[in-house]
């Protein structure tokens, strides 16, 4: 299960790098507007807020990469927990599908981490 947890944590980190790119660089671009179903006016007005969100997603990705590099259980649990909380909050406050895109992969990774414990 150790290999599965590494793969799943790497997947969650990669997703968050993708969120960073979408929110920081593509938000006010046709690609970002299409993905997030926004008008040019809405994306322009919320560009700074989205960039801030993207930065936080980048911090989560770096934290997960650090946890993998250091092979530390406490870091894995902490950063996966942060991702899960963010995904649940997003699902409750923005749209339910955020749970499946953000939180569920982190839940799967956390279960794999715990299953791999000695």
Per-residue pLDDT of the chain (118 residues), as tens digits, is 689 999 999 999 999 999 999 999 999 999 999 999 999 999 999 999 999 999 999 999 999 999 999 999 999 999 999 999 999 999 999 999 999 999 999 999 999 999 987 5
Structural domains of the chain, count: 1
Domain assignment of residue 23, given as a range? 2-115
Helical spans, DSSP H, in 25-99: 30-36, 40-45, 47-70, 73-93, 97-98
pLDDT at 94: 93
d(CA 58, CA 16): 6
Which of 70, 68, 56, 88 has its CA nearest to residue 9? Answer: 68
pLDDT at 1: 63
Please give the DSSP secondary-structure letter assigned to residue 14.
H
pTM: predicted TM-score of the whole model, two decimal places: 0.92
């Amino acid at each position: 299960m150790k290999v599965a947890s590494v793969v799943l944590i790497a997947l969650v980190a990669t997703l968050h790098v993708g969120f960073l790119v979408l929110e920081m660089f593509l938000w006010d671009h046709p690609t970002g507007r299409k993905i997030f179903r926004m008008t040019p006016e809405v994306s322009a007005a919320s560009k700074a807020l989205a960039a801030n969100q993207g930065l936080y997603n980048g911090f989560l990705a770096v934290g997960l990469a650090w946890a993998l590099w250091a092979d530390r259980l406490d870091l894995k649990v902490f950063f996966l927990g942060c991702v899960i909380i963010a995904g649940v909050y997003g699902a409750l406050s923005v749209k339910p599908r955020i749970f499946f895109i953000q939180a569920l992969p982190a839940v799967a990774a956390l279960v794999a981490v715990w299953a791999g414990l000695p």
